[in-house]
Amino acid sequence: MFEIGTVNHSGVWMALAIGAAFALALGALRSRKMELAGGKVALLTVLLPLGTAFFSHLLYCLMDAAYIIDSYSTGYLFTFWQPGYMFYGGILGAALVLLVAGGKRRLALLDAYAPSAALMIAAARIAEGFAGQGYGEYWFEDAMFFCRFPFMTYDAYYEGWAWALFMAEALVAAVLFVVLLVKKKTWHGDGWLLLMGLYASAQIVLESLRRDEFLRWGFVRIEEVFSGVVILFVLICYCIRAGKGRTAAKAACFGLFLLMATLCLLLEFATEGRIPFLLFLEVYQCYLVMALACAVIAACVLWMRRMAHSTETMEA
């Protein structure tokens, strides 16, 4: 079912349709529990898939707008049914729809649909595998235990196996889905921030491992840049929520994040042999250190979140 470079159209649409059906149904159920009007829930069920697809395609095209316009036309930017999608664009589209439709309860609505967003990300990653994308380094030794699905996926053209990163990315989203479902009720907006902060933290190293047709500016991987920006935004939101005080702890949290982000950047160069003083590290060692750095970044998100919750507890 999953083969590098081969598009299984029925698999792609099946994964997206099933994921969307469950995600929208769960979101509708959770929004109804917050006594949202039935008409608004029905409207969201229609607008969310459209907004997600539209902004996913739009942001994808904007990453190389000059090429898209020259090769196709300006109108291609808005033809969201055409190929070319970006995950962060889809997340942005879903968030905008919820914020606009939510009115005064927009943050509560974001939280209600946060598990649905994680579920849809997982389904979309599976769909990516059906599209022959989302793979990592190749391995040509069939005797290796991991040379089988779900660890690896096969490339019939090169007759070799490659790491099935789309499965790892789907697993991360699935874990976040469970975390958000069992999370205790807190202040509005916390669930969506937690999803974005932890998802982006994992995405830095997972995106670096990819060897498929990922988005890039030269050698700069665009989704890694977006992940760093998203994490910074989440930290700022939690910091604002935490209010005044704890200046040293907040500064340490931001400083640690920037240090780890810089380390990830250096390691990204090191994997391509561009950093002389890091040449003592093997490529796999660079990725191990990067994974540890991403774990520290995730810890920074949780640390800042804890400070925001401490303020909430003191106010109560």
Is 301 a domain residue?
yes
The predicted pLDDT at position 221 comes to: 87
Where in the sequence is the domain holding 112, given as residue range(s)? 9-315
Is 2 a domain residue?
no
The predicted pLDDT at position 315 comes to: 44
- Number of helical H runs and strand E runs in the chain: 10, 5
Is 292 a domain residue?
yes
- The residue among 253 and 213 whose pLDDT is bigger is 253
Is 255 a domain residue?
yes
Confidence of residue 277 (pLDDT cuts 50, 70, 90): low
Q: How far apart are CA 59 and CA 215, in angstroms?
A: 11
Least confident range of 109-118, 210-219, 223-232: 210-219
Summarize pLDDT for 279-292 with one digit per residue, the tens: 777 888 889 999 99
Mean of the pLDDT values across residues 65-85? 88
Number of separate domains in the chain: 1
CB 75 within 8 A of CB 38: no
Is 208 a domain residue?
yes
Is 1 a domain residue?
no
Is 3 a domain residue?
no
Secondary structure class of 3 (helix, strand, coil): strand
Is 275 a domain residue?
yes
Mean of the pLDDT values across residues 3-22? 93
Q: Distances from the Cα of 280 to the Cαs of 119, 261, 270, 272, 285, in angstroms?
A: 40, 21, 10, 13, 10
pTM score: 0.91
The predicted pLDDT at position 316 comes to: 41
On average, the pLDDT of the chain sits at: 89
Summarize pLDDT for 119-168 with one digit per residue, the tens: 999 999 999 999 999 999 888 766 577 888 888 998 888 888 899 999 99
232: how many CB neighbours lie within 10 A of its CB?
16
